[in-house]
Structure 1
Amino acid sequence: MSKCTAVVGLGSMGGAMAAALLRAGRQVRGFDPSPAARSAAREAGVETVDSVDRLAGTPYVVLSLPSARVVESTLPALLSRAGTLAVVDTTTSEPDTSAACAALAAERGVSFVDAPVSGGRTGAEAGRLTAFVGGTADALTAARPVLDVLTGGQYRHFGGPGAGNVVKLLNNVLAAVNLVAVGEALAVARAHGVDPAAAAAGISGASGGSRASAAMYPDWVLSGTYDSGFALGLMARDAALAVETAERRGEHPRLLAAAGERWQEALAELGPAADFSEIARTVAPTLTS
C-alpha cells in the first residue's frame, strides 16, 4: 500500500507531524499558505508545493488547520482527483463540520476521520500524540496507518463523524476551567503566605490535583516562561466552541460557560497571540507580578 502522505497546514503542529511521518518512512509532501512554514518544512526534509490543489489524489492526507471553516474550504480541492484513501483531520474543528466533511468524502469513496490531537509540538515530533477519533469503523481502519504513526497507537474511537471533536472540545474546555480555578486557588495560597509552588505540589498529589496544578502552573506560570506553545486565542476559541456545541443539543453548562467568559476577558486584554498559560495574568495577577 502506498505510503505517500500529504500534510496540509505546516505550522507548529502540522510541521512536526510532517517530520514524524517522514521519519517513519512515509513519503511526505506538504502545503501551507505561509512561505515561512513551507521553508521550515523543507529544512526538515518535507517536499512542499505552492498550491493545495497539487496534493489532490494523494493516498493519505493529514489536515492541521486553524478552524472548521478552513477545513470546509480546503477539502473539496483535495478530493478533486481520484486516488485518496483516507483523510485524517487533526484540526480542533466543529462536530457538524466534521460530519459534513465525512459525508462529502464518502460520496467520492474516501474515508474521513476527525482526529483532533493533544500533546503539543513535543508529542507531535515524537509521534506520541493523543487523538480523539470520530468516524465510521471502516474509515478508522483506512486511517489507521497514519494514526499509528502520529500517536503510537494512543488514540480512542468515540463514535461516528464528529464524535472526536466533541470530546476534544470537552477536553479543552476542562483544561480551560482548570487553568482558571488553579490560578485563583494558588493566589489564595500566596495571600496566606504559602508558597504557590509548594501548594501546587501538595494539591497535585491529592484529590484536587489536575494537570494544571501538576505541570502547567509549575512549568509555565510560576517559572515565568509562559512557553507552552499554544496560543491563548485558540484556547478561548475552543472554550467558546465547547459551550456552543453543548447548547446546540439543549445543554447549558453554567460552569463551563463562566470559565469561557474569563477566557474571553483575557483574550480582550492580552490578545490572541499570547501564550494560553498567560491566562494567569488576568485570573491570578499576584502570581505573575
Structure 2
Amino acid sequence: MNTSTNRRIAVVGLGAMGGAMAATLHRAGWDVTGFDPSEAARAAAADTGIATTAALGDLAGTPYAVLSLPDASIVETTVPQLLAEPGTVAIIDTTTSEPATSKQMADLAEAQGAAFVDAPVSGGRDGAASGSLSAFVGATAVALSAAEPVLLALTGGKYSHIGGPGSGNVVKLLNNVLAAANLVSVGEALGVAQAYGIDPAKAAASISEASGGSFVSANMYPNWVLTGTHDSGFSLGLMARDAALAVDVAVQIGESPTLLAAVAGRWQDALALLGPRADFTEIARTVAPAITPAGAPRTNGPVDGTTAVA
C-alpha cells in the first residue's frame, strides 16, 4: 500500500462539518485544498486561509483526502475521481454512509494501492472546529495505519476501530438512531413535567444527574430546545435519513428492531411537517411543543425543503 510523509490533503465537502475539519487540518499544519460544488462554501473556506478548487478532478492523486458528503451515492462518484491519478495514500470518509458502499470503495482503493476507511464522526461543528471529534472507524489494519495521521488530527486520538470496512458506518447509524430515540423520549418526558407545572429545565437538570440522564437531556434540550434556538447545525432531514438507514441495515441482515423502527417512523412524520432543512432538535416541536418557544409547526406549512415556522 502507498505510504507518504507528504502533508497535502484534500477536503471534499466544505459544509458546516467539512469546512470546520478543513480549518482544523490547516491549523495543524496540513497543506489543505478544499472542494465543494457550492461557490459560497468555497468562499467561506477561502476566508479561513484554505486553498480551494471548483473542479474535483484537480484533487486526483492528492496523498490524503477527507470526505464530508451528504450521502453514499456521492461517495461512490467521488472516490473514483480521487483515485484517477496515482499518489493517493488514504481516503478518510467521514460521511454517514452505507456499509456496502464503504466495502466497495475500500476494495477499489486497495486495488490501486491506496487505503479507504469509513470514519463517520460525532461531535458536531464544535468538535470539528477543535479537532476533538469522535470517529467510528471501519478499516483493515493496514488501511487504518495509513489513515491514522489524519484521524489523529481530527479526533486527537478519540476514535474507535470497530472492525473491517463498513463497520464504522453500522455503529454510527446505530448511534444516530439511539440519539433519535432519545430526542423523542426526553421530549415526551419533559412535556409531562411541564404539564405538572414543573419547570422542564429543572426536570432535565435533575434527570441528567440520575439514571435516566443522557447527553440529550443534559445538553441538547437545555441548549437548543428549551432556549428555542434550534441551531445545532445538523438537519432534521439528515437525522431522519440516518434513522431510516439504521433500520434498513438491520432488516438486511434479518433483524427486526421494532422500537427503532417506530422511532424512524416518528422522524418521518416530523420530516413531513417541518421539512428537511429544519434543525434536528426541532423534533421537539412535534413531540412536546409546549416546552419549546418555537411551538408546534404549522400543519399547512411548506414541506418542500423549507422550514415551516410557527
- What interval of TM-score do these two structures reach, taking the shorter chain for normalisation? over 0.9
Q: 1:53 aligns with which of 29, 52, 57?
A: 57
Aligned to 2:252: 248
Q: 1:27 aligns with which of 23, 26, 31?
A: 31
**Backbone CA RMSD of aligned residues:** 0.6
User: What aligned pairs does 1:143-162 form with structure 2 within 5 A after superposition?
Assistant: 143-162=147-166
1:267 is aligned to 2:271: yes
CA distance in 1, matches of 2:278, 2:54: 29
Aligned to 2:194: 190
Percent identity (aligned)? 67
Local SS of the residue matching 2:34: strand
1:237 is aligned to 2:241: yes
CA distance in 2, matches of 1:167, 1:254: 18
Q: Letter of the aligned partner of 1:5 in structure 2?
A: I
Tell me how far 1:2 sits from its aligned partner. Answer: 0.3
CA distance in 1, matches of 2:19, 2:33: 11
1:43 is aligned to 2:47: yes
Q: Letter of the aligned partner of 1:150 in structure 2?
A: L
Q: Deviations over 1:164-210 (max 9, x none)?
A: 00000000000000000000011011111111111111111111111
Q: Tell me, which stretches of 5 or more residues in structure 2 are unaligned?
A: 296-310
CA distance in 2, matches of 1:59, 1:235: 32
Aligned to 1:14: 18
1:166 is aligned to 2:175: no
CA distance in 2, matches of 1:31, 1:192: 52
Tell me how far 1:286 sits from its aligned partner. Answer: 1.6
Q: Deviations over 1:221-250 (max 9, x none)?
A: 111111111100000000000000111111
Tell me how far 1:287 sits from its aligned partner. Answer: 1.2
Aligned to 1:114: 118
CA distance in 1, matches of 2:128, 2:68: 11
CA distance in 2, matches of 1:285, 1:262: 15
Local SS of the residue matching 1:131: strand
Aligned to 2:305: none
1:210 is aligned to 2:210: no
1:138 is aligned to 2:142: yes
Q: 2:101 aligns with which of 80, 97, 117?
A: 97
CA distance in 1, matches of 2:87, 2:226: 50
Moved over 6 A (4+): none
How does the TM-score come out when normalised to structure 2? 0.92
CA distance in 2, matches of 1:230, 1:40: 18
Local SS of the residue matching 1:256: helix
CA distance in 1, matches of 2:222, 2:22: 30
Local SS of the residue matching 1:132: strand
Local SS of the residue matching 1:81: coil
Alignment: residue pair count: 289
Q: Letter of the aligned partner of 1:218 in structure 2?
A: P
- If each structure's helix is expressed as a fraction of its own residues, which one has the higher value? 1
Q: Letter of the aligned partner of 1:101 in structure 2?
A: M
Aligned to 2:304: none
Local SS of the residue matching 1:206: coil
Q: Tell me, which stretches of 5 or more residues in structure 1 are unaligned?
A: none
Aligned to 2:285: 281
Local SS of the residue matching 1:17: helix
Q: Letter of the aligned partner of 1:96 in structure 2?
A: A
Local SS of the residue matching 1:246: helix
How does the TM-score come out when normalised to structure 1? 0.99
Q: Deviations over 1:82-137 (max 9, x none)?
A: 00000000000001110111011111111000000011111111111000000100
Q: Letter of the aligned partner of 2:94 in structure 1?
A: T
